[in-house]
Chains A and B, each alone.
Chain A
Amino acid sequence: MSIIEIKNLEKIYNENTDIPVHAVNNVNLSFEKGEFAAIVGPSGCGKTTLLNLIGGLDSPTSGMISIDGVDINTLSQSKLTNFRMDNIGFVFQAYNLIPVLTAKENVEFIMHLQGASKKDRDKRAEELLQAVGIDDKANVRPGKLSGGQQQRVAVARALASKPKFILADEPTANLDSKSTETLLSIMERLNKEENITFIFSTHDQRVVNKAHRLIKLEDGKVIGDERVIK
């Protein structure tokens, strides 16, 4: 069963001007539970916009996005924020961790927003940091972690709320080869062992090589959607 259903999705910037920009153009897609999919294409093709729309960070000009049967465009701002918290995990290109909190506190933060008890938060944060191989840095602030380590904390944070899927916008763009390799292995393992759904936007060939599904985007249109048998 599809966890994400996208129908006739359009996003037009500067709609009422002489030069409207079709960032996403009539996109129809669906994602199943446990996918490891990459949205690929050149810079400016609309990858991030599509990911933002799927994540409910931006609203479409037209079309529909349904997550687990919920049309997210019909939700109010506050309901949408809560919906994101409970259903979607985000990994950003620039890691975007809270600099004043330690790695563990960063992971715990979203669980705190969800109202989890201190005991549950502690336990899950430790498990997740262990899963991404950074449990020895649990009490270190992001400023003292390398880019790769920060991105692993970001993955742990994205998983903390037990989301239905994780959206990762160019997660390896700021990482060196070794860190990229480590991060991708972790995400691949989580996908394989825990059946966690990952959707990336990327133009990094190393990510493309690991993806099980490649969605090619050009000028906001899906020009290819192929499944790679590993």
Chain B
Amino acid sequence: MQNQNQPEPQQDDLEFDYKYGFSMPENYTFKARKGLDAEQVKEISMMKGEPGWMTDFRLKAYEIFTSLPMPEWGPDLSGIHFDDIYYYIKPTEGQARSWDDLPQEIKDTYDRIGVPEAEKKFLAGVSAQYESEVVYESVHKELTKKGVLFCDMDTALKKYPEIVKKYFGTLIPSNDNKFAALNSAVWSGGSFVYVPAGVKVGLPLQAYFRINAERFGQFERTLIIAEPGADVHYIEGCTAPVYTTDSLHSAVVEIFCKESSRVRYTTVQNWSTNVYNLVTKRARAEKKAFMEWIDCNIGSQVTMKYPSVYLTGEGARGEVLSIAFANKGQIQDAGAKMVHLAPNTRSRIVSKSISKSGGRTSYRGLVHVAKHANNSSVYVSCDALLLDELSRSDTYPYMKIRNNKVEIQHEATVEKIGEEKLFYLMSRGMKKSDAESLLVNGFIEPVSREIPLEYSIELNRLINLEMEGSVG
């Protein structure tokens, strides 16, 4: 029922955009050196003119980063060479005020993704990240009037230091894992959203991310605070140009859902297939709050991402709805973490994964119900679709239940795309590849229907492109 009146995309354009990627000439005013040491961390903080506490926070995080081992579980990360990465690049001097002020090649890049168009039609505010800093952003006047703060993280640190200091790094401390520590040391850009009590933001807030320099890691940092009764939907979409050498993307996202607030965080990730995408995302849901993660992973070489919700208040709810698509050479190690720390809390995890041409998907989930979390309910459903014999899917569902009065449902299925279903659709006049795409899009529909129309159309197109030329 979607995109009835949407014009069909030009196949050639799509091929160019997504399959081969594109990159604009680099025109930077500053370029940091490769590799990382304490001096470099200090330099980044100085360049940004940060307060002393942030410099200290970064330096401490750097110490932790060097002391922590690489994860001993999950996909192989030996392709990451920390000494071969740029940790900070400043694309332009200062922030651009309007679209016209942006450098041409940056505009060209965004035109291809369609940022200004999307903004006109759909957005309440745009915060587009190019390299490591946000160069273009606009916030709807209405939002400002309501007291909603939406800007890039660096600006937030300057303009709202008290709020930032109060929350920053408190949900995901630097010692949480090696990559959270790295992000804490060298973070740059990302979004800051603050929604005052009782304010409902009608339209989704959006940000677009891209990597556009070789061997350049992107370490954005996002902080969202929803005061009691607030309601906000944040969307991040990523597309990236293709490069020959490895790239690292390691973000940290912290979300605070106060009493009776509701936050929805939607991601459509399409990093190019040389990117290591290692992201730590965590939310805290207080009394009767509702946190939803909607996480779609199409691109990257390796993704490790397990959005989590700490249900700390009575009656809090948490959801993770995710889609992972692994094509040739890709590993999507995704999942969810739900920690029930209060009575009457509810969690729901719905994971849909698709593996094709030797791609690997894994669902890795942890549900923890604490001793005093009476009458909580847990629902976990993970479905895997394998498109051929070469592909693989694994499920690692961990449950630590310390309470007897809990309702738990767990379902897991693995299916292959059936010849009978393909024949049925082909008998209606569809080509085999179209029939496969339709079945795959149908398979993820329980999750994709939760994504705003523009994004779900893009997601469908991405999947159709991934399905092209498949040998079934």
- Chains A and B belong together in one complex: no
